[in-house]
Amino acid sequence: MMIQPKIQVMAKKPPEKPDFEKSLKELETLVEKMEQGDLSLEESLGHFERGVQLSRACQQALKTAEQKVEILMKKSGQEEITSFDSEDA
């Protein structure tokens, strides 16, 4: 009689959603590096491409957050969201 070893199969984790703050920080770092002007054309293009990806991820995260706020406001009975004016703050 042969004993077969048990094989544990680990479930694959779904890819993590990019963290807004981490994405924004990475984007700021890329911009700083590119502004220094010390990168080759190829490096600059790679940084630019990554920056576009990060920018889109940040925009999507902000859009999702705004939609959640709108839903919460509607649920609380406030139908309209007032625009924030930083000069009034």
Domain extents for the chain? 20-75
Query: What is the structure's pLDDT at 73?
Result: 86
d(CA 20, CA 27): 10
Minimal CA–CA distance to 65: which of 22, 14, 20? 20
- Would you say 70 and 57 are in contact if contact means Cβ atoms under 8 Å apart? no
Query: What is the structure's pLDDT at 77?
Result: 80
**Which stretches of the chain score pLDDT less than 50?**
89
Query: What is the structure's pLDDT at 50?
Result: 97
CATH 3.90.180.10 fits 20-75, yes or no: no
C-alpha distance from residue 59 to each of 8, 11, 46, 65 (Å): 39, 30, 20, 10
Query: What is the structure's pLDDT at 75?
Result: 84
